[in-house]
Amino acid sequence: MIPTSLRELLDETTGQREVEWAGRRIWLIKEAWGELAVSLQGAQVLHYQPGSRHETPSPSDSSPSAQDGWLWVTPTPQSLPGTIRGGIPLCWPWFADERTADETPDHSGPMHGLARQAQWRLEASDDHEEGRELHLSPVERLHTQLTPRAVIQANAQRLHVELITEHTGETPVRMSGALHSYLAVSNTFESRIEGLAGARYLDKHQDFSEFIQQGELGIRDALDRIYESNRDVILEDSQRRLRIAKQGSDSTVIWHPGESQLRDVPAEASRHFLCVESACTRLDPVWLVPGAQHLLGTTLTEA
């Protein structure tokens, strides 16, 4: 589900073009296989919709429909240099406040790292498996030893995002990170995740105490959990069943603020997303040695 102003820009797009939206440069694609929108702030996918839209939702109806895409974006994003809440923010080279690869003297780097605020450049947009493959790199160096790049593939069947980190320095670095996907749902508190039953998790709301997931996970309230799992999960709600697969990640983060008001999200809009994140966290940090690389990936398909 994307804001109406972004929807209008997509509706006016044929093929590919760069536009300005919410003060950011956005790469829009509308082709026979579907639609994609990527913000060059953060190399952040904001929208993916396979196939063509069949109908325009009525403006009076604020609930998302299957035609609104698989990702959710707040209708009231922060202005720059803030970040856009929604889509798939890249959290790099640390997750949340772990700051393992933070090079500031007092470890005061931003929550979720440096990548999502930074400006990225589109290096290539190629035909790929009857869809598109985009390659992006940060405009400025973000870390003295680590270099990230993003690869985004989209076609009529799937959206795939890779965050690749190369170690170009001389001493090992401990990093973490996440593909912080905001997935669109018709009602967060009626949605359900399959695939985590029996998994160990840390509950951030209970001082990272450890628990085992009993049965499948129904979302009923706020939650902030790191599951130790590398399995696919399925997000089910009344509009679709989405399979979320991942690569290079042994942590699955499930997050929603519940009824707490986020300052950049109107109350009604916050009932339409759930974050399911392919991550490397305190449970599975990545020790990168000189010359090595790590790939963190997520793949969304219809289940």
Site string for ligand BG6, 101-140 (x = CB under 6 A): ----------xx----------------------------
Q: Which of 277, 278, 285, 298 binds ligand BG6 (CB under 6 A)?
A: 277
Per CB under 6 A, 72 contacts ligand BG6:
no
CB of 16 to ligand BG6, least distance (A): 28
CB of 219 to ligand BG6, least distance (A): 14
Closest residue to bound ligand BG6 by CB: 255
Q: Which is nearer to ligand BG6, 27 or 255 (CB)?
A: 255
Q: Which of 224, 236, 237, 250 binds ligand BG6 (CB under 6 A)?
A: 224
Per CB under 6 A, 48 contacts ligand BG6:
no
Per CB under 6 A, 143 contacts ligand BG6:
no
CB of 83 to ligand BG6, least distance (A): 7
Residue with tokens 């979302």: 219
Per CB under 6 A, 200 contacts ligand BG6:
no
**What would the two tokens of residue 264 be?**
């950049």
71 secondary structure, DSSP code: B
CB of 180 to ligand BG6, least distance (A): 6
Per CB under 6 A, 294 contacts ligand BG6:
no
**What would the two tokens of residue 281 be?**
């966290």
Q: Which is nearer to ligand BG6, 28 or 283 (CB)?
A: 283
Per CB under 6 A, 27 contacts ligand BG6:
no
Which of 111, 119, 295, 269 minimizes the C-alpha distance to 182?
269
Q: Could you give the CA distance from residue 242 to residue 74 in angstroms, rounded to a whole number? A: 20
CA 211 centroid distance within chain: 25
Q: 143-148: long-range contacts at Cβ-Cβ below 8 A with a sequence spacing of 24 or more?
A: 143/93, 143/101, 143/103, 143/114, 144/103, 144/169, 145/169, 145/170, 145/171, 145/173, 145/290, 146/93, 146/101, 146/173, 146/175, 146/288, 148/90, 148/92, 148/93, 148/115
The beta-strand segments (E) located in 32-108 are 34-39, 44-50, 90-91
Residue 268, Cβ neighbours under 10 Å: how many? Answer: 10
Which of 115, 161, 146, 137 minimizes the C-alpha distance to 301?
161
CA 289 centroid distance within chain: 26
CB of 97 to ligand BG6, least distance (A): 8
Interacting positions 239-258 with ligand BG6 (CB under 6 A): 253, 255
Cis preceding linkage at 89, omega within 30: no
Q: Which is nearer to ligand BG6, 99 or 112 (CB)?
A: 112
Q: Which of 7, 143, 180, 272 binds ligand BG6 (CB under 6 A)?
A: 180
CB of 137 to ligand BG6, least distance (A): 23
Q: Which is nearer to ligand BG6, 112 or 160 (CB)?
A: 112
Task: Provide the H-helix boundaries in the chain.
Answer: 4-11
Q: Which is nearer to ligand BG6, 34 or 89 (CB)?
A: 89
CB of 184 to ligand BG6, least distance (A): 17
CB of 60 to ligand BG6, least distance (A): 30
Contacts with ligand BG6, residue ranges (CB under 6 A): 96, 111-112, 180, 204, 224, 253, 255, 277
